[in-house]
Amino acid sequence: KDPNKYLRLSDGSGPFIAPLAHWAVNQDSPMDAERYLDKIRWEKIEEIKTGHYFDTEYLAAYGLQLQILERWDRINSGDGMKILEGLTEKI
C-alpha cells in the first residue's frame, strides 16, 4: 500500500513552529521553555476543538489536553523538576 495517501498535508503552521522551538531551546530555564511550548500546544488544540461538540475530534483534543495537565501534575510533584532538568542536561 502507498503510505502517501494517508499523509496529511501541512496546515501552514510549519514555518511558525521553527521559531517557537528555537526560542524554547535558547531559554535558561527548562521549565519556562516547557511551559511556553505547552501553552502553544494548548492553544492549537483549542483551535482544533472549535466547532466540535462531543464528537471524535473533540474527544481526541480533550484527551491531548488531559495529557498536558497530567504531565504538569507530574512535573509539579516533588521530583518532577529534577527529572525535567536531568532530561535537558542529556540534550
Torsion of CA 84, 87, 89, 91, to 10 degrees: -130
Is 60 inside a domain boundary? Answer: yes
Is 22 inside a domain boundary? Answer: no
Is 6 inside a domain boundary? Answer: no
- What pLDDT was estimated at residue 82? 74
- What pLDDT was estimated at residue 54? 87
Number of domains in the chain: 1
Is 67 inside a domain boundary? Answer: yes
Domain that holds residue 72: 28-90
Is 45 inside a domain boundary? Answer: yes
Nearest to 74 by CA among 65, 64, 62, 84: 84
- What pLDDT was estimated at residue 8? 64
- What pLDDT was estimated at residue 13? 61
- What pLDDT was estimated at residue 42? 95
What distance in Å separates the CA atoms of residue 28 and residue 34, rounded to the nearest whole number?
A: 11
- What pLDDT was estimated at residue 64? 96
What distance in Å separates the CA atoms of residue 34 and residue 20, rounded to the nearest whole number?
A: 11
pLDDT tens, per residue, the chain with 91 residues: 677 776 666 665 666 777 888 888 888 888 888 899 999 999 999 999 999 998 999 999 999 999 999 999 988 887 766 776 776 676 6
- What pLDDT was estimated at residue 51? 93
